[in-house]
Amino acid sequence: MTRLFRRIAAMPASLFLLAAPASAEAPEPWQMGFQKAASPIMEETVWFHDWFLMPIITAISLFVLALLLICVWRFRESANPKPSTRSHNTPLEILWTLIPALILIAIAVPSFRLLERQLVIPEPDLTIKATGHQWYWTYEYPDHKVEFDANLIPEEKLKKDQIRLLSTDNPVVVPVGATVRVIITASDVIHAWAVPAFGVKADAVPGRLNETWFRADRIGAFYGQCSELCGTRHAYMPIEVQVLSKEGFLRWLARAKRESAAAAAQKTETKTGGEES
**Cα–Cα distance for residue pair 66/72, rounded to 1 Å:** 10
Q: Dihedral sign, CA of 200, 208, 142, 115? A: negative
How many other CB atoms are there within 10 angstroms of residue 178's CB atom? Answer: 20
Q: Which is nearer to Cu ion, 4 or 230 (CB)?
A: 230
230 binds Cu ion (CB under 5 A): yes
**Cα–Cα distance for residue pair 177/169, rounded to 1 Å:** 24
Phi-psi region of 244 (alpha: psi -120 to 50; beta: other; left: phi over 0): beta
Task: Residue count of the chain, please give it.
Answer: 277
Among 234, 248, 252, 260, binds Cu ion (CB under 5 A): 234
Q: Which is nearer to Cu ion, 220 or 224 (CB)?
A: 224
- DSSP one-letter string for 18-48: HT-S-EEE---TT--SPPPP-SHHHHHHHII
- Report the nearest approach of Cu ion to the CB of residue 47 (Å): 29
Site for Cu ion in 106-145 (CB under 5 A): none
State which amino acid sits at residue 159. Answer: K
Q: What are phi and psi of 70, to 5 degrees?
A: -60, -45
41 binds Cu ion (CB under 5 A): no
Q: Which is nearer to Cu ion, 44 or 228 (CB)?
A: 228
Q: Which is nearer to Cu ion, 130 or 178 (CB)?
A: 130
Question: How many residues lie near Cu ion (CB under 5 A)?
Answer: 4
- Measured in whole angstroms, the distance separating CA 239 from the mean position of its chain's CA atoms is 10
- Report the nearest approach of Cu ion to the CB of residue 230 (Å): 3
**Cα–Cα distance for residue pair 170/242, rounded to 1 Å:** 10
- Report the nearest approach of Cu ion to the CB of residue 154 (Å): 18
Cα-only R_g, the chain: 26
- Report the nearest approach of Cu ion to the CB of residue 234 (Å): 4
Closest CA to 149 of 167, 170, 135: 170
Among 180, 226, 239, 253, binds Cu ion (CB under 5 A): 226
- Report the nearest approach of Cu ion to the CB of residue 190 (Å): 8
**Cα–Cα distance for residue pair 261/73, rounded to 1 Å:** 77
Q: Which is nearer to Cu ion, 8 or 230 (CB)?
A: 230
**Sole window of 110-118, 150-158, 164-172, 232-240 interacting with Cu ion (rule: CB under 5 A):** 232-240
**Sole window of 58-66, 147-155, 209-217, 219-227 interacting with Cu ion (rule: CB under 5 A):** 219-227
239 binds Cu ion (CB under 5 A): no
Among 191, 215, 218, 246, binds Cu ion (CB under 5 A): 191
Binding positions for Cu ion, rule: CB under 5 A: 191, 226, 230, 234
